Structure 1
């Protein structure tokens, strides 16, 4: 399509009601790529779009009567503006909340973002603050990081998962969003079970990110997540506790390497890579779980 026609085509298509709800003015030659992920209970929009202004006026609000809460996760590209009298300064990596029942005018840099909406009644029940008070609230990158990275992973991997997993995936997104919002407000989520689910996910993600570190232990995790050792144990009780879970995950990574043809890491190298003190200790631990030595396991799966 000719560059001169792209903006008009996008605006007239009114994808996800964006053109109906907002007046937009491009800052540069317009390009856009948008995808939609239907998780059953919520839909998630994914967009890569050039810089432009976004304005929602009082007459538009009166006409369309939309009052959902919009959650805009900004993977790359910041935004600045006015949210019904509240200054908006949102860097890349942050999350911006917008109440569609209130006016807004902001300029967005060229960005990659993920967005979803929550019906007002759902948001009022789910979140630790009113929708009206959250208009223009920015969740800082350090508090938003887990949800930002999770949505990026979901974007890349969701097509490999069965459609029936949609509601569970949606629940994880909502749990992580509530955790991030509560952290940014300095409050605890109202739903205790939701808080536990989000914390459990965050714990497992943190373990995966640091699985190769020899210093990964309960003390370090307790400090990183800001929870007690007993809470960590409760979250992983079914897996035998924190240290047992860490060992199981490390052994699973080692087994994956041993099954991979062309992976020439020695057992000693794998032991060092995944936090075991030496090859002998790794060998004993591996045999307890898999019933054979690492060398025999490799030979069985690669023929070498």
Structure 2
């Protein structure tokens, strides 16, 4: 008998709507998933499967409308983070990814970085997603462009979309012997879509001298403790047009997002320092946050844990390879029924 790919499945008809929803939440602990106001959980319905195509995890299914907020899942935007390519075959998803608004659906594809926050409301949807460890693309795409919240509409993305729909059809019967070839094809198409995105970004940014961004970055670092540090303040003090300022930081999610990122990175460094015993409130104040609650919420959204937990454990890392992610789902869904 031919070995099939490892898989898991959540299906409402195998249990109850409430139990299916709770399992969905349990297998995605770095998401906050909730129903829209006025929706009764007793009406919830889903049928979703996931296959391990090492090192990728491919997910496909249908779910009712829901808020899906992504919480950060690792300590940095480096090798340990995962990228997600989400195709909505039917339905729409509207929200924002670190200040970058998105609104897409009906055959469109979005990219997300699991180390960064996003929030969005999806309608009743049929979707396909590929979870890709960043390191799996290292040889194909040495410099991965900022895809977080980017809706792909290029020709290369069209080929990837067709491939993802083909994966949904064929993965239930794909043998492990064939898996390596399909994985290579998937990574090649993902790399092509990213290459086209990188080329377009380079063209768009050619009119912004690197010296401008370097100058702004130094100014931001020197004024992190100022609650008044805003794009308006930077534009005025450095005599840089707002349009030029925004264009210089577009690839990083915007000026405000960059300021927030630098403040949170500085906070993490303080929390990890063995001889720095300032309180959480003191750290929030010295880095320009309005109050401790605002700081703690922002820190949790960025790193996936509270400042107190980060200080106590000395880490915010939650690395998940494709295998680790899939094994976790298997443990949570041990009684889930396989696809028919």
- 5+ residue gaps, structure 2, are 1-11, 202-340
The equivalent of 2:216 in structure 1 is none
Which residues of 2 match residues 78-157 of structure 1 at below 5 A? 78-127=92-141, 129-130=143-144, 133-140=146-153, 143-157=156-170
Among 31, 37, 40, which residue is 1:22 paired with?
31
Q: Specify the SS of the correspondent of 1:126.
A: coil
User: CA separation in 2, counterparts of 1:165 and 1:112?
Assistant: 26
Is the 1:143–1:184 Cα contact (8 Å) retained in structure 2? Answer: no
The equivalent of 2:275 in structure 1 is none
> CA-to-partner distance for each residue in 1:55-111, whole Å, 9 max, x for gaps?
1346x767xx98311121222222111101111122321221111111111111222
Among 44, 47, 60, which residue is 2:58 paired with?
44
Structure 2 CA distance for partners of 1:24 and 1:180, relative to 1, 3 Å: same
Among 7, 22, 29, which residue is 1:11 paired with?
22
TM-score (norm. length: structure 2): 0.46
Among 176, 179, 192, which residue is 1:166 paired with?
179
> CA-to-partner distance for each residue in 1:206-259, whole Å, 9 max, x for gaps?
xxxxxxxxxxxxxxxxxxxxxxxxxxxxxxxxxxxxxxxxxxxxxxxxxxxxxx
Is the 1:69–1:123 Cα contact (8 Å) retained in structure 2? Answer: no
Q: Specify the SS of the correspondent of 2:191.
A: helix
User: CA separation in 2, counterparts of 1:3 and 1:73?
Assistant: 26
Shift of 1:116: 1.9
TM-score (norm. length: structure 1): 0.51
Shift of 1:4: 11
Shift of 1:157: 2.8
Is the 2:140–2:188 Cα contact (8 Å) retained in structure 1? Answer: no
Structure 2 CA distance for partners of 1:87 and 1:45, relative to 1, 3 Å: same
Q: Specify the SS of the correspondent of 2:178.
A: helix
Tell me how large the CA RMSD over aligned residues is. Answer: 3.2
Q: Structure with the greater relative contact order (CA < 8 A, sep ≥ 6): 1 or 2?
A: 2
Is the 2:88–2:109 Cα contact (8 Å) retained in structure 1? Answer: yes
Is the 1:51–1:107 Cα contact (8 Å) retained in structure 2? Answer: yes
User: CA separation in 2, counterparts of 1:3 and 1:40?
Assistant: 27
User: CA separation in 2, counterparts of 1:162 and 1:12?
Assistant: 27
User: CA separation in 2, counterparts of 1:94 and 1:187?
Assistant: 18
- How many residues in Structure 1 have an aligned counterpart in Structure 2? 182
Shift of 1:143: 4.5
Q: If you compute each CA radius of gyration, which structure gives the higher value, 1 or 2?
A: 1
Q: Point out the structure with the larger helix share.
A: 1
